[in-house]
Amino acid sequence: LLLSISLWPLSGLSQFFDSEDGSSSKILIKGGTVVNADHQEVADVYVEDGIIVAVRPNIKVADDVTVLDATGKLVMPGGIDPHTHLAMEFMGTETIDNFFSGQAAALAGGTTMHIDFVIPVNGSLSKGYEAYVEKAKLSCMDYGFHMAITKWDDVVPKEMEIMVEKGINSFKFFLAYKGSLMISDELLLEGLKKCKSLGALAMVHAENGDAVFEGQKRMIELGITGPEGHALSRPPVLEGEATARAIRLAAFVNAPLYIVHVMSSDAMEEISRAQKSGQNVIGEPVVSGLVLDDSVLWDPDFITAAKFVMSPPIRAKGHGKVLQAALSTGILKLVGTDHCTFNSAQKSLGIDDFRKIPNGVNGIEERMHLVWDTMVESGQISATDYVRVTSTECAKLFNIYPRKGAIRAGSDADIIIFNPNSTFHISAHSHHSRSDTNVYEGRSGKGKVEVTIAGGRIVWENEELNVVPGSGKYISMPPFNYLYHGINKADEKYLTSLKAPVNRIKQSL
């Protein structure tokens, strides 16, 4: 493929920065089946200056328009990855994919927007925000930010207000990573209340960090220092416990909740139970959890096993199938990747101790293909559902629909042309991430993203990227998404229910 790893130092990329390139600002996609989350039909799509202008059959255009024939193919909204970590400093190193290489990989795989997690600097949200604004200057596709909350004092809630004004409408709380990102239940409660008052969505990394710490000690005492110790030290029960705890605390303050990277049936069951009781809990599976199993962590070759180390861990066979089923029935709502890549040298930081292996796997380039193959080709979901779980639901949750997540007049021209009869093939030799490994190495399957249009530019065609650093836009995301509709009424009802017995007691005195 066009971008090989050796070309990645920025100086070597100039040959691809063809900003005033041939791709016209007017594009007609002819004869494809346009698939949205709610409907599909054969129609043409006409794009001008980055915006979809018309979607209907038989659009006639002038000669200056680039025409793409999509006959027999699917025309779908570009993917939106709700969960990525580009240029993140973590576990003593920094992810190998930055905002340029990670996004280039995304575009080659049909994803046209992602939401990345800003990590505060020494607990300061504004410093963290500024650092990520700098990192994101390399962007070649649209992106938004979530923000992690890693400490609590008088300043943090005020800074959360400022972040919402800056277009961040979600905050992530880590119940794991003791000693670094982990927060207490007390902080989680404060955070949930503050999120609710701001109309922001609280997100949780649900593992019991104290128990993980204990589990790790146990493994080391037993002399288990390899990557398998990672999975053994943090079993599904610890994910189930933290998921249940976060859900119950969110219920206690009546705040919507988003559980990131749901990896086990244990966590899924807690989400399902809460939903049945009427609670607004969103569950996000990630591709690795849907398609991989933990047998890989026992590989005797350290690097082969260590590349699969992420948290929560990839689970035993069976969990993935359960998560797929939950995705197909709507218990789990949208698919992320948790793209957080480290190369072999970085993974080797933990060669003598699994606790030092930087946690994270790739997926930003592979998500669209693997979800299609795993979920649609297998008959578990329809093409319209595919659009919902890879794009539309994310746009709705983070309140940018229908600007994103739809092929309709007025929406951003983020579009893929997908050939369901072609095949994809995954390898570190051909992928666009800077990582030297790929956790999906050797996989192939049905369906192929043949063209990606991002912001009205053809950025991926004929297996070639045409991307420009700095061309991606920051997408400001307003608070009070659909989960907040009616929440005040529920609060009023709760208060009324409290007042009745209190008044009775007063009268009897």
Residues forming contacts to Zn ion in the complex (CB under 5 A) are: 205, 338, 427
Among 216, 311, 411, 433, binds ligand URP (CB under 6 A): 311
Nearer to ligand URP, 157 or 226 (CB): 226
3: partner contacted, choices ligand URP, Zn ion, none (Cβ within 5-8 A by kind): none
Burial class (CB in 10 A: 0-12, 13-18, 19+), 408: middle
Q: Is 359 in the site for ligand URP (CB under 6 A)?
A: yes
Nearer to ligand URP, 44 or 338 (CB): 338
Quote the tokens at residue 402. Answer: 């229908």
Among 97, 338, 365, 414, binds ligand URP (CB under 6 A): 338
427: partner contacted, choices Zn ion, ligand URP, none (Cβ within 5-8 A by kind): Zn ion
Among 205, 307, 333, 448, binds ligand URP (CB under 6 A): 205
Residue nearest to Zn ion (CB): 205
Q: How many residues bind ligand URP (CB under 6 A)?
A: 9
DSSP string, 75-140: EEEPEEEEEE-SS-EETTEE-S--TTHHHHHHHHTTEEEEEEEEPPBTTBHHHHHHHHHHHGGG-S
Residue nearest to ligand URP (CB): 359
Q: Is 360 in the site for ligand URP (CB under 6 A)?
A: yes
Per the CB < 8 A criterion, the answer to whether 119 and 146 are in contact is no
Burial class (CB in 10 A: 0-12, 13-18, 19+), 5: middle
Residue found by looking up tokens 């893929």 in the block: 416
Nearer to ligand URP, 219 or 406 (CB): 219
Looking at residues 69 to 128 of the shown chain, list those that interact with ligand URP (rule: CB under 6 A): 85
| Shortest Å, Cβ 85 to ligand URP | 5
C-alpha pair distances (Å), 230 with each of 219, 306, 481: 9, 9, 36
359: partner contacted, choices ligand URP, Zn ion, none (Cβ within 5-8 A by kind): ligand URP
C-alpha pair distances (Å), 324 with each of 186, 262, 458: 33, 11, 32
Q: Is 350 in the site for ligand URP (CB under 6 A)?
A: no
Number of C-alpha atoms within 13 angstroms, CB side, residue 133?
11
Secondary structure of 80-96 in the HEC alphabet? EEEEECCCCEECCEECC
| Shortest Å, Cβ 383 to Zn ion | 26
Per the CB < 8 A criterion, the answer to whether 337 and 84 are in contact is yes
Q: Which of 285, 286, 288, 323 is nearest to 307 (CA)?
A: 288
| Shortest Å, Cβ 443 to ligand URP | 20
Among 164, 198, 242, 310, binds ligand URP (CB under 6 A): 310
Nearer to Zn ion, 78 or 209 (CB): 209
Per the CB < 8 A criterion, the answer to whether 314 and 293 are in contact is yes
Q: Which residues bind ligand URP (CB under 6 A)?
A: 85, 205, 261, 310-311, 338, 340, 359-360
